[in-house]
Amino acid sequence: MVKAIELENVDLSLGRGAARVHILKGVSLAVDRGEAVGLVGPSGSGKSTLLMVMAGLERPDAGAVRIEGQELGPLDEDALARFRGRRVGIVFQSFHLLPTMTALENVAVPLELAGQADAFARARAELDQVGLGHRLSHYPAELSGGEQQRVALARALAPDPAILVADEPTGNLDEDTGASIVDLLFRMKTERGATLVLVTHDPGLARRCDRTVALRSGVIDQARSDELTRGRA
Ligand code: ADP
Ligand code: MG
């Protein structure tokens, strides 16, 4: 069976000179199709960086990354960007919407750039799905945090990606708004049959995943991962 995500001995350092940091140290991880993995660990342990590697936004210095059986290493920048656009949806803590574009444009323009013919119709349908059909022409500054994250989720899901990665998607939201985003995230994941990797500090949220992976100083702590996975409600 092809795995959704396979990392083999991934090593990555970032930064220059004295600021160079060895962030990921021989990380190996396989995620099944349709699985939801909660990625936890102390601040600075490398969670966001690991997510960027899975999304093809950072290339490891050593080791292999395969997404849906496709080895990312040999792809040139254009091919990697195309692959990412089609196969990977990304949601960030701070939404990352373009402030000069409306909600509709934020979802439609990336689709259009990816060559999707019916980009605006599709974007409208996606925004409808996340409950924002009535906010299409609002700019991000005119939307609440929860609404902005819904737009970001619609944008991530619009290409129908095989894998969805989310980096503390509720980190900037109040508890109730965060909970509704999480419900939406899991509902969309299940409806689309996507694979989810979710970075979170929230133990309750991690427990909603099929499995927990614990990172510590750039290494997977297997004992802690097993303990947290067993401890799920
Ligand atoms: P986490 O998401 O678990 O908090 P990160 O993956 O963001 O951790 O970062 C891991 C470590 O790598 C941190 O110490 C951070 O300061 C460092 N780091 C992250 N990105 C860079 C970069 N571009 N250059 C140098 N150091 C970085
Ligand atoms: Mg982080």
Classify residue 218: in a domain, yes or no: yes
Q: Does residue 170 have its Cβ closer than 6 Å to ligand 1?
A: no
pLDDT at 129: 94
Looking at the structure of the chain, the number of domains it has is 1
The Cα 68–Cα 145 span in angstroms is 32
Q: Does residue 200 have its Cβ closer than 6 Å to ligand 1?
A: no
Classify residue 12: in a domain, yes or no: no
- SS3 (DSSP) at 214: strand
Classify residue 5: in a domain, yes or no: no
How far is residue 46 from each of residues 10, 189, 219, measured CA to CA in Å?
A: 12, 24, 8
Question: Residue 130: which of 106, 145, 147 has the closest Cα?
Answer: 147
Classify residue 89: in a domain, yes or no: yes
Classify residue 198: in a domain, yes or no: yes
The Cα 202–Cα 221 span in angstroms is 18
> Quick one: tokens of 153?
């989720």
Q: Does residue 15 have its Cβ closer than 6 Å to ligand 1?
A: yes
The Cα 95–Cα 216 span in angstroms is 26
Residue 188, pLDDT above cutoff 60: yes
Which ligand sits nearest to residue 50's alpha carbon? 1
Q: Does residue 212 have its Cβ closer than 6 Å to ligand 1?
A: no
DSSP 137-161: T--GGGS-HHHHHHHHHHHHHTT--
Mean pLDDT of 19-45: 97
Mean pLDDT of 149-172: 95
Would the pTM of this model clear 0.85, i.e. be above it? yes
Classify residue 148: in a domain, yes or no: yes
pLDDT at 221: 97
Dump pLDDT digits (tens) for 98-124: 999 999 999 999 999 888 899 999 999
Question: Residue 27: which of 73, 75, 62 has the closest Cα?
Answer: 62
Classify residue 15: in a domain, yes or no: no
pLDDT at 231: 84
Mean pLDDT of 35-42: 97
Question: From the CA of 187, how far away is ligand 2's center (Å)?
Answer: 24
- Say which CATH number the domain at 157 has: 3.40.50.300
pLDDT at 114: 86
Mean pLDDT of 166-181: 93
Residues spanned by the domain of 108: 34-57+75-230
Classify residue 95: in a domain, yes or no: yes
Mean pLDDT of 127-154: 97
Give, as residue ranges, everything with CB less than 5 Å from ion ligand 2.
47-48
Q: Does residue 43 have its Cβ closer than 6 Å to ligand 1?
A: yes
